[in-house]
Amino acid sequence: MGSETTSLEMTDNNNNNIENGGNSGERRPIMGESPSKQQSLRQDFEHAAAETYLITRLAFILLSYLGVGYRWITRVLALLCYAMLLMPGFLQVGYYYFFSSQVHRSVIYGEQPRNRLDLYLPQNTKGRKPVVIFVTGGAWIIGYKAWGSFLGKQFIERDIIVACLDYRNFPQGTISDMIKDVSQGISFVCNNIASCGGDPDRIYLVGQSAGAHISACAILQQSIRESQGESNSWSISQIKAYFALSGGYVMNRYNMLNLVDHFNNRGLYRSIFLSIMEGEKSLVKFSPELLVQDKSIAKAVSMLPPVILFHGTKDHSIPSDASESFADALRKASAHAEVILFEGKTHTDLFVQDPLRGGKDELFEHMVSIVHAGDEDALAKDAMAPPMKRLVPEILLKIAREISPF
């Protein structure tokens, strides 16, 4: 079964090593020695109990923010129906997540309770492999590393290592904590992935929905630090491209308050959203689109990796013009940015329904073609790769699409 890793094989100075992203001079393996079956089972139960307690406690705190309003209740019911309709696919992916020997769950990358990542390793262990770091969405509230399990499965079938990051959600943390966690997770992967056969100079960052916003903030902050000559545990040059799926990037007062109203009407209440973003006065600080227009950080913007933005034109959670506007701002600041729009696709089509449908996934294939660019052997294998297996009947996918609360 998949391994649950709750500790790292590090030096005695473990805490300092983690804080510095694992960069201790000597490269250490991410995974420690495999525990015995009895120890592994005990660790699984202990970890499950700790996670259950944490999630329950945070749910009650969140309820104190939400109250029990009509809109919130209808959204929860829609989410439950949506999950039930897609359950045939979720069960298959869940079985893979918990029982595949290629999935190493809950690798510790920091000291916070949610500082964990899931590592997906290809069966082929020959040669240095490109690496994808995935940051999941979840409205800054319900993000979890396991949401990336199907994407991880897809990538390792193409000989690409995947690290799915977990991070503190609200109310456990606010946006600053989320950005800090993601940056620390990226640092950890950059400094340790070579021990698992990954190439630390061929890392690709993928962010989805809220995760796209958090990731954009993280790489921009990293570029600013490097442009100012600060010492860092990882370099923005290690990120070869940034793929953003269905994200929002404008946090200035006028535009963001319009988006706040949009979210409020869809069940993410104004008071909660502003609490996540640390108040109205902080909106500009967490707006990547506005920040890249600041000429005082032009050098930092020029250091950003190529940015490829994917968005569905029927996205009702975050309209597709969010990606178009961000790309336009990046290009005006002399950064490389590209927008790829998917006609008629919703917020969940690109990341959930389309992969569960099987066949050739256009978005996934586009990302793989960039990751494998210049590698003729890998591209030839990609061209011969069989289509993905359908996991959910079409009728259930269509109904789920209609009732999705996202």
DSSP 344-361: T--TTIIIIIHHHH-B--
Split at pLDDT 50, 70, 90, the class of 269 is low
Highest mean pLDDT out of 61-65, 122-126, 165-169: 165-169
Task: Quote the pLDDT of residue 272.
Answer: 77
Task: Quote the pLDDT of residue 273.
Answer: 81
The stretch 287-296 carries a mean pLDDT of: 93
Among 25-29, 110-114, 225-229, 319-323, name the one with the lowest average pLDDT. 25-29
Write the CA distances from 351 to 124, 206, 209, 287, integer angstroms: 26, 12, 10, 24
Write the CA distances from 7 to 31, 111, 114, integer angstroms: 8, 11, 14
- Whole-prediction pTM value? 0.85
Q: Is 199 exposed, middle or buried (0-12, 13-18, 19+ CB in 10 A)?
A: middle
Count of CA atoms in the C-beta half-sphere (13 A) of 150: 22
> Of 37, 27, 26, whose CA–CA distance to 3 is shortest?
37
Percent of the chain with pLDDT over 70: 77
Beta-bridged to residue 163, according to DSSP, are 119, 133
The stretch 30-43 carries a mean pLDDT of: 52
> What's the token pair of residue 270?
């104004």
Percent of the chain with pLDDT over 90: 61
Task: Quote the pLDDT of residue 24.
Answer: 35
pLDDT digits (tens, 9 = 90+) for 130-163: 999 999 998 888 889 999 999 999 999 999 999 9
> Residues for the chain: how many in total?
406
The stretch 356-383 carries a mean pLDDT of: 95
Split at pLDDT 50, 70, 90, the class of 35 is very low
More confident residue, 31 or 58: 58
- The residues that are catalytic are 209, 315, 347
CA max distance for the chain: 58
Among 126-130, 260-264, 398-402, name the one with the lowest average pLDDT. 260-264
> Of 299, 300, 288, whose CA–CA distance to 325 is shortest?
288
Q: Is the pLDDT reported for residue 21 higher than 60? A: no
Split at pLDDT 50, 70, 90, the class of 73 is confident
pLDDT digits (tens, 9 = 90+) for 325-360: 999 999 999 999 999 999 999 999 999 999 999 999
Q: Is the pLDDT reported for residue 309 higher than 90? A: yes
> What's the token pair of residue 267?
């069940």
CB 66 within 8 A of CB 269: yes
